[in-house]
Structures are given as structure tokens and as C-alpha cells.
Amino acid sequence: MDIIVNGEKRTIDPDTTIKSLLDQLGIADKTMASAVNMEVVKKEAWENHTLKEGDKVEFLHFVGGG
């Protein structure tokens, strides 16, 4: 099925969760947030939030500095 991740079309398997998508993309999840269809998804829900056809997923990285 097709979704949009940070503005790019991607094909994923059905039953893909936010957590498994991060793993597939090789993205560490320590300092980031996610939103699906413009709604923030709490990190605690990533393993259970199954993505659907046409979802728009945004991953936001936080960078510290001074």
C-alpha cells in the first residue's frame, strides 16, 4: 500500500506500524516526534499505530544546540 513519508511516496506492507516503518527506514527514534495526517501520535503508541493506505506521515527530528 502507498503512504507519504515526509513528502515522499513510499510503498509499505499492510500492518506496518509507525515503529516498524522507522526500523525499515533505519531511523533512530530517540529525539523525534511523529504525526499521521496532521495529528501527533505519542511515542508510546508507535508500536500499535497501524498505518493505512494514503496516510501522510511526518517525522520531526529535534536538534539541541546553543
Q: What are phi and psi of 11, to 5 degrees?
A: -100, 130
- CATH 3.10.20.30 assigned to 2-61: yes
Which residue has cell 503512504? Answer: 3
The per-residue pLDDT for 17 is 98
DSSP β-ladder status, 32-36 and 8-11: unpaired
The per-residue pLDDT for 66 is 64
Q: Tell me the pTM.
A: 0.88
Residues 49, 16: Cα–Cα separation, whole Å:
8
The per-residue pLDDT for 61 is 82
